[in-house]
Chains A and B, each alone.
Chain A
Amino acid sequence: MKILLLAWRNVFRHKRRTLITAAAISVGLGAMVMSNTLMNGMDKIASWNIINYETGHFEIFASGYYREEGMFPLDTIIDDPEPLLAIVRDIKGISGVTERVKFPARVNNGIDEFPVLAIGIDLNTEFDVFKTNKTVVTGHFIEKPDDILIGTELANTMEVDEGSVLTIITRDKYGTYNAYDFIVAGLITTEHPLFDANAVIMDINVTQELLSLGKGVTELNIRIRDESKVPDMKEVIQSKVGADYEVYTYKELYASIFEVSGIKRVGQLMIALVVVIIAAVGIINTMLMAVMERIPEIGTLKAMGFQNHDIVKMFLYEGGIIGIFGSLLGCLYGLLLSLYIVFVGIDLSSVFDSSDLGYPLKFVLKGTIDPALVLLVFVFGVIVSVLVTLWPVRRATKLQPVDALRHV
């Protein structure tokens, strides 16, 4: 305990030096905390957008459809969804299931034509799974068969508004071109760039007619009550629907997004780690100075009977105390920046106006603080500070008492 007191007092012999060293390590640690908050927020919003607008927690396809999903193969669809819907509804933990038809189309405003993703939705069950009903900013939701919803960005690009007539052109199941006229019932704004800039939403019955699908749908979308049970529920749903259908979680469907997120996290962590390593060199320097200027004191302590392990302990405590200050400072400023990101957020609208970052989110990015990571960063900072102290302290242990006492 007294050695700790001695270490504590030693740390504050040179307050400015200690402060600078602690501040240096805090930069890297704070960056770690902040970048994690940012990435958590991106992942959370991305997940939210994917689940609430695009996939639900699960999507079910007819076997083989997903492998060619990019081609929208209308010959491997779910021909009769009713029995499947009934099976899924009976599974415990499911809060909603709906059906959708997704297909590529071209939309024509009479002057220009734009490629879009058209989505036919089941108006009776759509809102059991998705939150598309909360996205209409102008006009109203689909009420009539020839109503469609389009994103505000697409509307701006096409220079159309509520009430405008648009022609949807596509090929049906047999490859025959088909075109229907629709009225823009409303404009939607989500935080999902796909929906705002590239999607057209319509009634599933009209979609099935347009594509000659009969009752067929391209997918079922499922929402479950407890999102944390997604991995467990997948097996349950797959076993119930059988091998003719394939069940995918939203994370599997958007694996690339979450993988990119993982890579970005590692990248940010590496940058923060480099900053911490640079700061660790600062700690080594500080501790080396401490050892060098206190050699006669080390000699005195050894003369009193202090052994090498007592001396090492004292310097490790000193490194640890600097580490605790640096880590506290780092976590504190990381948390302050994180709180700003959580409550105020970072406005990404200008970024997304000019480019697509490949992330299903836009507008204001709000972060999510991970308390476990903050704690981990704190512990990491302290451990690094203690470990890097070992090297300069080796000099102190190698000193013979008589040489240390003679040192000027």
Chain B
Amino acid sequence: MVEVRDLHKSYKVGKMLFPALRGISTTIGDGEFTAIAGPSGSGKTTLLNIIGCLDVPTKGKVLINNMDTGQLSTKEKAALRKKEIGFVFQTFNLIPVLSAFENVELPLILLDMPAAEKKERVVNILKEVGLEEFIGRRPNEMSGGQQQRVAIARALVKGPSMVLADEPTANLDSTTATEILKLMKELNEKLKTTFVFSTHDFLVMDFATRLIKLRDGKITKDETK
């Protein structure tokens, strides 16, 4: 469970302070499929980054499973990301010199796990995302949709409690985007992993079971379908 309490974040642009989040408070339960929606500059990515311990708030708290992430050291945050949080990025962010298999395997090299188990997990998750025949291909040998599937597999392979996806379909055509969303939904239901993703795409919002709308760094709507 993720609890966000009165979260503020300001960025310094030149000599000016630009407020990206202005007092966000919400709770995201385990297994939710939540979309954070809003126009550009509404604070979606900032909120996801702070929840994912990639950024720090100016004020307020984020508690993951009742643990205040603001109290964690850089090392502890890295350890939390390593085990509990998977990321999916708008631009896929796959390592170009590694194959699909190796990209998915990458988060596992940080975990103490037998090689056979690692291999089994990678193969299984690649099957789940429908890429069992593409395991030896490098990112530049795959379509955008296939690359995003690899990225989703990479985020899920370590069995995290939460996947944070920043505009996961923004670089995909609508057909591929629908496939990816269906896949994420299926995995959410099957693996019970919490999915939180940012979007300004109505298609994505339709898939979400909960929709949190942001505007100018504030929640304007929070509805569960």
Contact = CB atoms under 8 A, between A and B. Distances in A.
Interface of A is mostly: helix
B188 to A, nearest CB: 20
A306 B75 CA distance: 10
Contacts of A303: 52, 54, 81, 87
A305 B54 contact: no
Contact of B110 (A1, A9, A12, A310): A310
Nearest to A307: B78
A305 B93 contact: no
B54 A402 contact: yes
Question: Interface extent on A, as a size class?
Answer: 20 to 34
A13 B95 CA distance: 11
Interface string A278-305: 0000000000000000001101111111
A328 B8 CA distance: 56
A306 B110 contact: yes
Contact of B105 (A2, A301, A302, A402): A2
A405 interface: yes
A2 B52 contact: no
B82 A6 contact: no
B75 A307 contact: yes
B106 interface: yes
A299 B55 CA distance: 12
B81 to A, nearest CB: 4
A304 B97 contact: no
A167 interface: no
Contact of B97 (A3, A6, A299, A400): A6
Question: Interface extent on B, as a size class?
Answer: 20 to 34
Given A2-B109, A310-B110, A405-B54, A302 B78 contact: yes
B124 interface: no
A376 B177 CA distance: 58
Interface in A1-55: 1-3, 5-6, 9-10, 12-13
Given A305-B83, A307-B75, A405-B89, A300 B95 contact: yes
A401 interface: yes
A296 B89 CA distance: 11
Contacts of A299: 93
Interface string B192-217: 00000000000000000000000000
Interface in A88-132: none
A338 to B, nearest CB: 37
A149 B39 CA distance: 105
Given A297-B93, A401-B54, A402-B49, A305 B110 contact: yes
A305 B106 contact: no
B125 to A, nearest CB: 15
Interface in B32-69: 49, 52, 54-55
A1 B54 CA distance: 26
Nearest to A9: B97
A305 to B, nearest CB: 3
Contacts of B107: 304-305
A304 B49 contact: no
Residue among A2, A13, A296 with the highest chain B CB neighbour number at 10 A: A2
A188 B87 CA distance: 86
A5 B154 CA distance: 18
A12 to B, nearest CB: 8
A304 B55 contact: no
A5 B105 CA distance: 12
A9 B87 contact: no
Interface in B109-140: 109-110
A304 B54 contact: no
A14 to B, nearest CB: 11
6 contacts: A2-B102, A2-B109, A5-B102, A10-B97, A303-B81, A405-B93
3 closest A-B pairs by CB? A305-B82, A9-B97, A2-B109
Interface of B: 49, 52, 54-55, 75, 78-83, 87, 89, 91, 93, 95-98, 102, 105-107, 109-110, 154
Given A13-B96, A304-B107, 4 more contacts: A13-B97, A296-B93, A305-B107, A402-B54
